Amino acid sequence: MRNPFWFLRGLPRLATVVSFGLCSLSLIGCGGSSKTSTTDKPSAATAASDVKSLLEKATAALQQRQWKSALETLTEAIKLDPKCSEAYFQRASLLADAGQAQAALIDFTKAIELSPKDAKLRHTRGFFLMTQKQIDHAIADFTAAIEINPKHTQALNNRGLAWLSKNDLAKARADFNQALQIEPKYVESLINRGFVAYQSKQHKQAIADYDQALKLQPENVNALNNRGLAHFELQDYEQAVADFSKAIARERYSAKFYLQRRACYLQLGREEEAQSDTAKIAWIGKLNDLNRHVAQEPKAAGNYVQLAQHLIAGGESKVGLASYETAMQVQPKYGRSYSSRAAFWLSNGEFDKAIADCNRAIQAEPHFEAYSIRGDTYFQQREFDLAIADYRKAKRVDAQVAKAYLFRAKKLAAEGKTDEAKRDRERAADIEREMQTVITVTPRGGIQEEEEPLLGIPE
């Protein structure tokens, strides 16, 4: 039988130790040579000041997510000082974030040529190369960074990950051990060493590393997930359930945690809980589909409305309401955004908000759902005249409409308006007859069941 976690056996999530974009600026190596002649000193100082100013400007642009402005500013800095390794490094990071891998690699390499003894540059290019699946070149860069700075724990950790991708567990373990000797509380290396133990089927040793990582970072989802997998392999399903449940509490939209917990429930014979997780996995699958639709058509309000409805149905009301707000922003005149949210307000007893949204829906784009929901809201407020008026506009015929007529008939009778009350009762009876299912033969030769008739006026 295939192991239920076969798809998780690959390379663990890389420890993101380098940020391609918002990198801290270091001005070492920029602004000209220290051997500038006396007569050139003012211009060199001015150039250095200008480059520093441009780098600071690029940082500010990055912080404001103004990528184009940052790129143009860094290019200007390079033109002003072609020997500024930091400007190349920052531009390479930005290009890497933008998916321009070849251009990024050129800039990373130029930065290293200008500052060959900078371990940070070697390590960063190594990490970038690893993301491009150029593992051997990445290992060479990590090794160079470690030779420059033997205590570079991030380079040791990432070289260990590179060895893992080549399935060299012994070299990976050696690098993680060395990183932990230098920095015993390095959580990423603890998790990665635990993964090596897990891959080596040393599950108790793996759990020991994950325990230590979780003492340092109790919220670490990778450690929780991996420890759960190790407990599963040891057939300690209750502990595995506990770990996956904690992971779910921190990343509730991750289907894999539900899938893994479901496998534990099945082993424990807890069928109902397993079915609940199965339903949640399906819900997350649809959520991912809806998110893809939103990404493909970010200006289509209908996509956000469907996403909101799905989120609310799954108990994610706060996020769902935010999706409605986005729908209204991208298409203010899309009436169904308001009527759909009105249905949510109605279901939660927020009647004034429901009516307000229905009014906005009708003003933007009159449609039967808006009248229908507003009618239901008036019904709950016992405003039966208004409710019936909206049901008529919605051309709606169902049990709720019949009840509205019956309730109004009772009110009219109490006011002595006998004829009007009679007409409402007759209309309710007509609706009931329209609703009754005529006994017909189905394609399979069976008989459809009749709906239950209304039971009169509820008290």
The domain spanning residue 384 has which CATH number? 1.25.40.10
Residues 189, 222, single domain; the answer is yes
In whole angstroms, what is the distance from residue 37 CA to residue 41 CA?
A: 6
Taking only the tens place, the pLDDT of each residue in 57-82 is 877 877 777 878 888 888 878 887 88
Residue with tokens 């192991």: 3
Q: Would 65 be classed as within a structural domain?
A: no
Taking only the tens place, the pLDDT of each residue in 177-235 is 999 999 999 999 999 999 999 999 999 999 999 999 999 999 999 999 999 999 999 99
Q: Pick from 255, 274, 291: which residue ends a domain?
A: 291
pLDDT at 286: 97
Residues 189, 276, single domain; the answer is yes
pLDDT at 32: 40
CB atoms within 10 A of CB 264: 27
Residues 445, 347, single domain; the answer is no
Q: Pick from 367, 391, 415: which residue ends a domain?
A: 391
Residues 285, 326, single domain; the answer is no
Residue 408 near residue 386, CB atoms below 8 Å: no
Residue 97 near residue 68, CB atoms below 8 Å: no
pLDDT at 71: 81
Residues 286, 348, single domain; the answer is no
Residue 391 near residue 404, CB atoms below 8 Å: yes
In whole angstroms, what is the distance from residue 364 CA to residue 367 CA?
A: 10
Residues 387, 401, single domain; the answer is no
Two structure tokens written together for 331? 């298409």
pLDDT at 29: 39
Sign of the C-alpha dihedral computed for residues 82, 86, 88 and 90 taken in this order: negative
Residues 196, 279, single domain; the answer is yes
Q: Would 317 be classed as within a structural domain?
A: yes
Q: Which is nearest to 176 in space by CA: 195, 199, 198?
A: 195
Q: Would 120 be classed as within a structural domain?
A: no
Residues 272, 344, single domain; the answer is no
Angle (CA) 318 319 324, round 5°: 95
Rounded to whole angstroms, what are the CA distances from 326 to 320, 338, 438?
10, 12, 45
Q: Would 71 be classed as within a structural domain?
A: no
Residue with tokens 């920052």: 90
Residue 377 near residue 346, CB atoms below 8 Å: yes
pLDDT at 65: 79
In whole angstroms, what is the distance from residue 412 CA to residue 204 CA?
A: 77
Q: Which is nearest to 141 in space by CA: 160, 118, 124, 122?
A: 122
Q: Would 306 be classed as within a structural domain?
A: yes
Residues 384, 366, single domain; the answer is yes
Residues 265, 311, single domain; the answer is no
State which residues form the domain around 455.
397-459
Residue ranges of E strands in 304-442: none
Residue 346 near residue 380, CB atoms below 8 Å: yes
Q: How many domains does the chain have?
A: 3
Q: Pick from 375, 391, 407: which residue ends a domain?
A: 391
User: Averaged in consecutive runs of 10 residues, what is the pLDDT profile of the chain (459 residues)?
Assistant: 28 32 34 40 58 81 79 82 85 87 91 92 94 95 96 96 96 97 97 97 97 97 97 98 97 96 97 97 97 96 97 96 97 96 97 97 95 97 96 94 96 94 94 69 40 35
Residue with tokens 């009931």: 432
Q: Would 371 be classed as within a structural domain?
A: yes
Residues 434, 449, single domain; the answer is yes
Residue 388 near residue 405, CB atoms below 8 Å: yes
Q: Would 334 be classed as within a structural domain?
A: yes
Two structure tokens written together for 146? 């470690």
In whole angstroms, what is the distance from residue 308 CA to residue 294 CA?
A: 11
Residues 267, 204, single domain; the answer is yes
> Could you please report the per-residue DSSP string of 232-262?
HHTT-HHHHHHHHHHHHHH-TT-HHHHHHHH
In whole angstroms, what is the distance from residue 166 CA to residue 274 CA?
A: 36
Run of H or E residues at 231? helix 221-233
Q: Would 70 be classed as within a structural domain?
A: no
pLDDT at 145: 96
